[in-house]
Amino acid sequence: MIEVTRINHLPLVLNADLIEHIETTPDTIISLTNGQKFVVLESVEEIIRRVIAFRRAAQAGPIGTGPAQNHG
């Protein structure tokens, strides 16, 4: 999930896996795979950074977990 800001300055949390494409017209428009479109204040580059950060965090696993430790 990534947080973006709608054009009316209200926050919106999107499922990054549903992003189909992003365009600048000059507003930034995020199109989802379900046909929904959102106009947001963030730039395309910023949205890409947030998606990358989200995916890296997801691959790292839950917060506070590390390699399995043997306590026996």
Query: For position 11, which CATH number holds?
Result: 2.40.50
CA distances from 26 to 2, 22, 59, 60 (A): 21, 12, 33, 35
Q: 2-61, pLDDT tens digit by residue?
A: 999 999 999 999 999 999 999 999 999 999 999 999 999 999 999 999 999 999 998 987
Full domain range(s) for residue 16: 2-60
Domain count, the chain: 1
Give pLDDT tens digits for 5-22. 999 999 999 999 999 999
**Residue 70 counted as domain residue:** no
Question: Is the distance from CB of 2 to CB of 51 less than 8 angstroms?
Answer: yes
Residue 13 lies in a domain: yes
The reply to whether 67 falls in a domain is no
